[in-house]
Amino acid sequence: MADTPKEIYFKKKEIAEDSDGSKELQVQRFSRLNRLLHIIMIISFINLALTGMSLKFSYTGWAVFLSHLFGGFESAGWIHRFSAVIMILVFTMHIIDILRQKKKEKKSWIMMVFDTDSMMFNKKDLHDLIDSIKWFLGKGERPEYGRWTYWEKFDYFAVFWGMIVIGSTGLTLWFPEFFTQFIPGWAINVATIIHSDEALLAVGFIFTIHFFNTHMRPEKFPMDIVIFSGRYPLEEFKMDRPEEYRQLVERGELEKYMVEPYPSIVLRTIKLFGWAALCIGFSIVIWIIYAMIFAYK
């Protein structure tokens, strides 16, 4: 399997380690907290997806199997609610983290939004999008992507939006007796549809488009572990995000982000986890497609 660039790289690195003990430094991309939150979010999201989809597609055999696997609809329900709470906590933590960052770096809101490192869409993203399409169609070079590409920003806000929509409707469905004191009974039906279809969108999007965009692209195949390790080789960084690299070099900050790579045991664990998440995700996608095409009622 020496044909993939990353594997070649890792193999090389191991050899290098063995031969002279020195380690080639890598570029830090994600903070420890963000990586942790992402891992927790994966676990909670997969649990939410499995338990939720088993209810949504209850007319299929796999749904019945899943529901029993989770110990029945009631215990599946509690796992769903527990995971939802975790997800909300992850979301809250992320917000707190942003606020803390703002305080630490003493940035104004405007700076937060219009900073080059900001998750907010900006003019460059529009240019990047147009240039990307040109590139896809063979009418240009690959755009020089920065710290956050437009599709990454899209993913981020998709999740942000999903959190609010699914979270709020989910709470309504969790406590209908409380909420119907303020909203009519039919709103519960509407909430059900929104919750369920938005969840379908989220699950579908994450397990196909997001998987492809960030992990499964041929150049990253079989998976990009940077979200777990938080660091990647300088070469890869240069090729992937030339704009960001250029800025870092210009500011002379590159050295600040150079860190030691993880030992191979950590990387292997990460890969194992990644594979598990990928498999579950793809299974869910296949089950949903099966349910919608062959068993739709």
Partner 1 sequence: MLKLKIFTVFAGLLFLLLNIETAAQDKSDCLMCHGDKSQYGERNGKKFSVFVDEKKFNSSVHGKIDCIGCHVDLKGSDFPHTDKVQKATCGGCHKDIQKMYDESLHGQAIRKGDNLAPYCKDCHGNHEIFPVKDPQSSVYPMKIPMLCGKCHREGSPVQIQRHIPQDSILENYTESIHGEGLLKKGLLVAASCVSCHSSHHILPHTDPRSTISRNNIAHTCAACHVGIEQVHRRIIKGQLWEKEAHVLPACVDCHQPHKIRKVFYDQGFADKECLTCHERKNIKSSVDGRSLFVDYAKMKESMHAKITCSQCHTGVNPSKMRPCENLSNKKVDCTSCHSQVGSDYQRSIHGKLFAKKDPNAPICSECHGTHEILGKKDPNSPIFATNIPVLCGNCHREGEKAAARKHSSEKNIITNYSESIHGRGLLKSGLTVTATCTSCHTAHKELPHTDPESSVNPKNVASTCGACHHGIQEQFEKSVHSAFVTKTDKKLPSCNDCHTAHGINRTDTEGFRLKIMDQCGKCHEVIAKTYFDTYHGKVSQLGYSKTAKCYDCHGSHDILPVSNPASHLNRKNVVKTCQKCHTNANKQFAGYFTHATHHDPAKYPLLFWTFYGMTGLLVGTFVIAGIHTLLWLPRSLQWRRRLKKKQSSKDEKENSKE
Contact residues toward partner 1 (CB under 8 A) are 3, 5, 8-9, 12, 54-56, 58-59, 63-64, 67-68, 72-74, 132-133, 135-137, 142, 151, 158, 173, 176-178, 180-181, 183-186, 188-190, 192-194, 197-198, 200-201, 204-205, 208-209, 212-213, 217-219, 221, 235, 239, 297
The distance of Cα 151 from the centroid of its chain, to the nearest Å, equals 12
CB of 154 or CB of 273, closer to partner 1: 154
CB of 105 or CB of 197, closer to partner 1: 197
Q: What letter represents residue 69's amino acid?
A: L
Which helix (H) or strand (E) element contains residue 28? strand 26-28
In the complex, the smallest distance separating the C-beta of residue 220 from partner 1, rounded to whole angstroms, is 9
CB of 167 or CB of 176, closer to partner 1: 176
In the complex, the smallest distance separating the C-beta of residue 65 from partner 1, rounded to whole angstroms, is 10
d(C-alpha 45, C-alpha 186), whole Å: 28
CB of 105 or CB of 235, closer to partner 1: 235
User: Can you say whether the dihedral through the CA atoms of 199, 200, 203, 209 is positive or negative?
Assistant: negative
In the complex, the smallest distance separating the C-beta of residue 106 from partner 1, rounded to whole angstroms, is 37
Q: For residues 28 and 258, is the Cβ–Cβ distance under 8 A? A: yes
In the complex, the smallest distance separating the C-beta of residue 249 from partner 1, rounded to whole angstroms, is 19
d(C-alpha 233, C-alpha 11), whole Å: 13
CB of 37 or CB of 203, closer to partner 1: 203
In the complex, the smallest distance separating the C-beta of residue 213 from partner 1, rounded to whole angstroms, is 7
Alpha helix (H) residue ranges in the chain: 5-20, 32-56, 61-69, 73-105, 109-114, 123-136, 150-174, 176-179, 186-204, 226-229, 234-240, 242-251, 254-257, 264-294
